């Protein structure tokens, strides 16, 4: 009887471990004084965060940085990538190399003060770039257009 319970417990622990590994890209909500981060995650060469609106916010800024970098490494994403939905706000960072990132949402308040919230670590995966468009045998040798082969936006010459 005791051996049966040991087997059941081992199977339950194994299932919990597998479930944790599969859902590793979903970060639990975090909150600060007036801003509540409800969801964050990564995908192929992109990361996103969702948060509940702050009632008196004038606007929002969103930043991203590699998880191992100092806070001075935060880069602001374009305003066009920050969108308002009926019940929440969402920001997407695109053109990211595979790796670990942290995002920060910042509410700008009427008196020019700020409230911010920082996500947990978000895992971004590389997109599979196999196929003829990316083959050395293709006419253009690359099908990535404005992006490098690793998904990062090419520098624009002005």
Per-residue model confidence as pLDDT tens for the chain (158 residues): 666 666 666 665 555 444 444 444 444 444 445 789 999 999 999 999 999 999 899 999 999 999 999 999 999 999 999 999 999 999 999 989 999 999 999 999 998 899 999 999 999 998 876 766 666 676 666 666 666 666 676 665 44
Q: What are phi and psi of 12, to 5 degrees?
A: -65, -45
As a whole number of angstroms, the distance between CA 41 and CA 103 comes to: 10
Helices (H) and strands (E) in the chain, counts: 1, 10
CA distances to 4, 9, 45 from 138, rounded to whole Å, are: 60, 54, 24
Where are the chain's structural domains? 27-127
As a whole number of angstroms, the distance between CA 28 and CA 88 comes to: 16
Locate tokens 């194994």: which residue?
A: 14
* pTM as predicted: 0.70
Does domain 27-127 sit in CATH 3.40.50.1100? no
């Amino acid at each position: 009887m005791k051996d049966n319970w040991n087997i059941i417990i081992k199977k339950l622990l194994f299932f919990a471990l597998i479930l944790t590994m599969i859902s590793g890209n979903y970060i639990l909500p975090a909150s600060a004084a007036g801003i509540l981060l409800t969801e964050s995650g990564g995908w192929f060469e992109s990361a996103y965060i969702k948060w509940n609106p702050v009632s008196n916010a004038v606007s929002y800024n969103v930043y991203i940085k590699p998880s191992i970098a100092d806070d001075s490494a935060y880069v602001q994403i374009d305003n066009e990538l920050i969108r308002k939905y009926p019940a929440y706000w969402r920001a997407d960072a695109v053109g990211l190399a595979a790796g670990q990132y942290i995002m920060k949402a910042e509410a700008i308040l009427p008196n020019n003060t700020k409230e911010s919230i920082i996500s947990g670590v978000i895992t971004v995966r590389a997109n599979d770039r196999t196929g003829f468009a990316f083959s050395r045998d293709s006419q253009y040798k690359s099908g990535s257009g404005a992006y490098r082969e690793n998904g990062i936006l090419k520098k624009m010459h002005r």
